[in-house]
Amino acid sequence: MEQIIGGEGPPGPGGNGPLIRDGDTASFGEDVIQASMAVPVIVDFWAPWCGPCKQLGPAIEKVVRAAAGAVKLVKVNVDENQQLAGQLRVQSIPAVFAFKDGRPVDGFVGALPESQIKAFVERLAGRIGPSPVEEAVARARALLEGGDTASAAGLFGEALKAEPGNPGAAAGLAKCHLENGDPERARQTLSVVVPEHRNHTEIRGVEAALKLVENAGDTGDVQELRARLDADPADHRTRFELSEALVAAGRREEAVNELLELVRRDRNWNDEAARKQLVTLFEAFGPTDELSVGGRRQLSSLLFS
Residues belonging to the active site:
50, 53
How many Cα atoms are found within 13 Å in the side-chain-facing hemisphere of 146?
11
Closest CA to 283 of 195, 189, 206: 206
Specify the length of the chain in residues.
305
Q: How far apart are CA 294 and CA 288, in angstroms?
A: 10
Spatial neighbors of 166 by CB under 8 A, at least 6 apart, are: 133, 137, 159, 160
Spatial neighbors of 194 by CB under 8 A, at least 6 apart, are: 165
Q: How far apart are CA 32 and CA 59, in angstroms?
A: 20
Are 197 and 203 a contacting pair, CB within 8 Å?
Answer: yes
Going edge to edge, which strands form the sheet with 72-77? 20-23, 72-77, 41-46, 95-100, 103-109
Instruction: Give the DSSP H or E segment for 73.
Output: strand 72-77
